[in-house]
Amino acid sequence: MANNVVPSSGVDSAGAELKLTANEFRQISDLAYQRFGLDLKRGKEALVAARLGKKLRKLGFATFAEYHRHILADTTGDALIELIDALTTNHTSFLRERAHFEFLARAANEEFREVSPLRVWSAACSSGEEPYSIAMCLAQALAKSPRRDFRILATDISTRVLDTARRGVYPVARFDDVPEPLRRAYLLRGRGESDGFYKVKPELGKRIEFDRFNLIDPFSGRGLFHVIFCRNVMMYFDKPTQQDIVQRLSVCLERGGYLFVGHSESLTGVQHALHYVRPATYRNQKPEGDRNSGDEKSGR
């Protein structure tokens, strides 16, 4: 970049166009990588300028350097969370990548049929659609086994999306892909001022623990899980970070447990000890006599 600047998508409060210099981009990308593992490669300058430019104008900063200093000076950590919220896309939906939920329901009643409680971790759970989908799936799958139970840990780095997740209230349109029997069984339809919204029933929500967690932080104290969902988040990390996270997730899996990644993601080039089962599905060391898992085909 000959001029070491990248134009943003707007203007500041004085009407001047905001510019992101090469040094400012490096400061922001280094901070995002060090604190969150977020890999902002060269070529992302325009995206960073556009998304953070809105934040600068809102806060009244004239330069990205001022905004960077503001983040470093904020002892609450809120400014860092706002940074990650601005730079990442919290796109999710109920029963997204449905094949994973069909697989989970089958596994709950086959290889995990003697397990109670079944423990699931929804890592990078965003605004809650994924853990609530897991809960609906398991509640339905175990409906004929009242003595069996399940528990879900749902974590995300963003306090903002976790607040939404804990409320468990969503517009009706968000449930277009949820079959009517599941809606009747596990959702409450809003009335009056809440018309046009569904709320997840409390008896389902109580099986989910929401907690803020950064995937590049140590996993100690999380325990072991039979299933881990870590979907559509690997794309934000470089290969070394992906490998570190996948290896540590593997340690958190029970023997025979499953890891789901996003269908648009691949563990190719990532060293890990998991067995490839099918696209976006991997298994920890399988129990003796279990031939369900195929040979590792990607990532070894």
Q: Do domains 5-87 and 98-170+199-283 have the same CATH topology?
A: no
Helix/strand/coil for 221 = coil
C-alpha span between 51 and 56 (Å, rounded): 9
pLDDT (0 to 100) of residue 286: 67
**Tell me, what's the pLDDT at 26?**
96
Q: Respond yes or no: is residue 212 known to be catalytic.
A: no
| CATH of span 98-170+199-283 | 3.40.50.150
The pLDDT value recorded for residue 278 is: 93
Burial grade of 166 (CB within 10 A; 0-12, 13-18, 19 or more): middle
Q: What pLDDT was estimated at residue 98?
A: 96
Q: What is the pTM of this model?
A: 0.87
Q: Which residues of the chain have pLDDT under 70?
A: 1-17, 90, 286-300
Domain boundaries, the chain: 5-87, 98-170+199-283
Q: Topology of domain 5-87, per CATH?
A: Chemotaxis Receptor Methyltransferase Cher; domain 1 (1.10.155)
Whole-angstrom Cα distance, residue 110 to residue 221? 28
Q: Would you give the distance in Å from CA 187 to the centre of its chain?
A: 23
pLDDT at 268: 84
Identify the burial level of 41 via C-beta atoms within 10 angstroms of its C-beta, where 0-12 means exposed, 13-18 middle and 19 or more buried.
Answer: exposed
Q: Give the pLDDT confidence score for residue 285 in this predicted structure.
A: 81
Cα 214 to chain centroid, rounded: 10
Spot the catalytic one: 119, 156, 222, 231: 156
C-alpha pair distances (Å), 69 with each of 28, 147, 169, 246, 257: 10, 55, 36, 33, 44
Which residues in 55-202 belong to E strands, given as ranges?
118-123, 150-156, 169-171, 187-189, 197-200
**Which residue in 51, 119, 148, 222 is the catalytic one?**
51
pLDDT score for 18: 82
Task: State the Cα–Cα distance between residues 6 and 25, nearest whole angstrom.
Answer: 9
Closest to 247 in 3D by CA, of 216, 223, 214: 216
The phi, psi pair for 81, rounded to 5°, reads: -65, -40
Q: Is 156 a catalytic residue?
A: yes
pLDDT of residue 220: 82
**In one letter, which amino acid is 280?**
A
